[in-house]
């Protein structure tokens, strides 16, 4: 008999996982290796040391170690805000009149307001261990920058944040929080870097992109003594740290004798999705279970659904190593969509490989539909979701409505990655009927896709 399911299930501190899970260890084929653009050959771990902390570079390149111990100091901070609750969306189920059971893993219950803290704490810890003075980073919506500002303040590290200009202007309070924790925040493109100056010279009104902010942050890291660059998504190491989301979710569901038929997550660079699905994908890869895994991305920045699976730069300035991933081209400039954290041209190489191999599905949704789902959810479940997270809500609602039609009582799990209390410009635009949808045409996508580099002997 199924157990009574509470609205919110919290694991105890003792039950919190003590190890991260590395999905690559169970993949039949590894994601393609990253390429050093200087040599056109696969990068060695040492090639990454000028950019990343050494321990993180090792995690990045390690496709075989299945579990990594979470350092005690990291666990101690995790315990301040984790385990995060597994919630049952009873009110939403009722309103949709669906036989489906809808669960969500809520990661917004910490000051930073999102899942990003899970990797920020880990990355700041390794930077401190290496004796660095500080780190640099980019932030899109501001959640990652906020999370990292908290983590750096905890470990006593300097932090320079390049914040995508459109978000910087839309969300001044995000900047204020980062500064409260001691970070220095700059609107990107800025005139502090070669990369920023070049972009501004071509287009003084450029509203920025994650790709451009990454170029600036990397440039600052490699030209400043005692600094390294850290990234809040896309990378294998970030998915590793985020696996705590899925590990907790699976454990909590086991306590309820539940298992998801469908796992849904929003996809920006892929970190929350990669983390949420990790142990469920493990079951799929090892033939134990066969849940459907669904990525939801914005129609304005559709890397999975309309991108190509090719090697590309991770940044607009083309100074990072190249990764094989679904990409719209590193010079793609998404429209000023309100889900700042999903406006990235590429996708995690791990998720890209899984998608290419048919282990995952993806669909793209327009932002007005996403906000409709966000408002419906907020009214029923009393959490104001981040616009990014609301993509997953929309995906889960669509799946639940399909169940209503088919009469199937499927179990749906989605990732509610964060709260939207700093996204009121977006909610105001939606509430006042000023929000519109921009879906790029093929012609609009063509220039950046055509500019994807050819690499002799690897891709045309
Ligand atoms: C709340 C929230 N959810 C999701 C994302 C998307 O990032 P990722 O795909 O790495 O999880 C972001 C990125 O900024 C975010 O802030």
How confident is the prediction along the chain (460 residues), in pLDDT tens digits per residue? 567 899 999 999 999 999 999 999 999 999 999 998 888 899 999 999 999 999 999 999 999 999 999 999 999 999 999 999 999 999 999 999 999 999 999 999 998 999 999 999 999 999 999 999 999 999 988 999 999 999 999 999 999 999 999 889 988 999 999 999 999 999 999 999 999 999 999 999 998 888 899 999 999 999 999 999 999 999 999 999 999 999 999 999 999 999 999 999 999 999 999 999 999 999 999 999 999 999 999 999 999 999 999 999 998 888 888 999 999 999 998 887 777 778 889 999 999 999 999 999 999 999 999 999 999 999 999 999 999 999 999 999 999 999 999 999 999 999 999 999 999 989 999 999 999 999 999 999 999 999 999 988 889 8
Q: What is the DSSP letter of 385?
A: B
Instruction: Report the nearest-CA residue for atom 12 of ligand 1.
Output: 341
The Cα 182–Cα 158 span in angstroms is 8
Ligand 1: centre distance to CA 232 (Å) = 9
Given the CA of residue 141, which atom of ligand 1 is nearest to it?
14
Ligand 1: centre distance to CA 138 (Å) = 13
Ligand 1: centre distance to CA 268 (Å) = 6
Where along the chain do the CATH 3.40.50.1100 domains lie?
8-17+82-113+243-450, 22-66+115-229
Annotate 80-91 with b (16+ C-beta within 10 A) or e (fewer). Answer: eebbbbbbbbee
Residue 150's pLDDT is what? 98
Please, which residues have CB within 8 angstroms of residue 65's CB and are 6 or more apart in sequence? 22, 25
The Cα 67–Cα 65 span in angstroms is 6
User: Which of 110, 111, 120, 266 best tests ligand 1's pocket when mutated (most atoms within 8 Å of CB)?
Assistant: 266
Residue 1's pLDDT is what? 53
Please, which residues have CB within 8 angstroms of residue 396's CB and are 6 or more apart in sequence? 89, 102, 104, 264, 412, 414
Instruction: Report the nearest-CA residue for atom 14 of ligand 1.
Output: 341
CATH of 22-66+115-229, one of 3.20.20.140, 3.30.70.270, 3.40.50.1100, 3.40.1190.20: 3.40.50.1100
Distance of CA 13 to the CA centre of its chain: 25
Ligand 1: centre distance to CA 405 (Å) = 31
CATH of 8-17+82-113+243-450, one of 3.40.50.1100, 3.40.50.300, 3.40.605.10, 1.10.287.130: 3.40.50.1100
Pocket around ligand 1: residues whose beta carbon is below 6 Å from it?
A: 114, 140-141, 143-144, 233, 266-273, 341-342, 386, 388-389, 417-418
User: Which of 107, 271, 345, 390 best tests ligand 1's pocket when mutated (most atoms within 8 Å of CB)?
Assistant: 271
């Amino acid at each position: 008999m199924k157990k009574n399911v509470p609205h919110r299930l919290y694991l105890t501190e003792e039950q919190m996982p003590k190890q991260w899970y590395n999905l690559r260890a169970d993949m039949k084929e590894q994601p393609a290796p990253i390429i050093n653009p200087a040599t056109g050959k696969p990068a060695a771990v040492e090639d990454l040391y000028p950019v990343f902390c050494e321990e993180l570079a090792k995690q990045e390149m390690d496709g075989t170690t299945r579990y990594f111990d979470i350092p005690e100091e990291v666990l101690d901070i995790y315990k301040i805000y984790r385990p995060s609750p597994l919630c049952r969306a009873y009110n939403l189920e009722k309103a949709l009149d669906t036989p489906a059971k809808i669960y969500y893993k809520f990661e917004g219950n910490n000051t930073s307001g999102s899942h990003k803290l899970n990797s920020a704490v880990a990355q700041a810890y390794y930077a401190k261990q290496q004796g660095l003075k500080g780190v640099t980073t980019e932030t899109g919506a501001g959640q990652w920058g906020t999370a990292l500002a908290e983590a750096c303040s905890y470990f006593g590290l300097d932090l320079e944040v390049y914040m995508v200009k459109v978000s910087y202007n839309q969300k001044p309070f995000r900047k204020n929080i980062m500064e409260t924790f001691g970070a220095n925040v700059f609107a990107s493109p800025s005139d502090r870097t070669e990369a920023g100056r070049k972009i501004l010279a071509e287009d003084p009104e450029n509203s920025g992109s994650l790709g451009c902010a990454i170029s600036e942050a990397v440039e600052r890291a490699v030209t400043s003594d005692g600094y390294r660059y850290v990234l809040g998504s896309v990378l294998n190491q970030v998915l590793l740290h985020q696996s705590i989301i899925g590990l907790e979710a699976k454990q909590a569901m086991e306590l309820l004798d539940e298992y998801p038929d469908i796992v849904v997550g929003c996809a920006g660079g892929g970190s929350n999705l990669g983390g949420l699905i990790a142990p469920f994908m493990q079951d799929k890869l090892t033939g134990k279970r066969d849940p459907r895994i669904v990525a939801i991305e914005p129609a304005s920045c559709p890397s999975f659904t309309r991108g190509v699976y090719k090697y590309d730069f991770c940044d607009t300035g083309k100074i990072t190593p190249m990764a094989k991933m679904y990409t719209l081209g590193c010079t793609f400039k998404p429209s000023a969509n309100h889900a700042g954290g999903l406006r990235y041209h590429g996708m995690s190489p791990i998720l890209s490989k899984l998608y290419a191999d048919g282990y995952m599905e993806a669909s793209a949704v327009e932002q007005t539909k996403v906000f409709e789902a966000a408002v419906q959810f907020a009214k029923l479940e009393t959490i104001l979701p981040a616009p990014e997270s609301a993509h997953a809500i929309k995906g889960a609602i669509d799946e639940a409505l399909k169940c209503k039609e088919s009469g199937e009582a499927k179990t749906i799990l989605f990732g509610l990655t964060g709260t939207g209390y700093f996204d009121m410009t977006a909610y105001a635009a939606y509430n006042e009927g000023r929000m519109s949808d921009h879906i790029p045409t093929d012609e609009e996508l063509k220039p950046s896709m055509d500019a994807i580099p050819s690499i002799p002997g690897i891709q045309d």
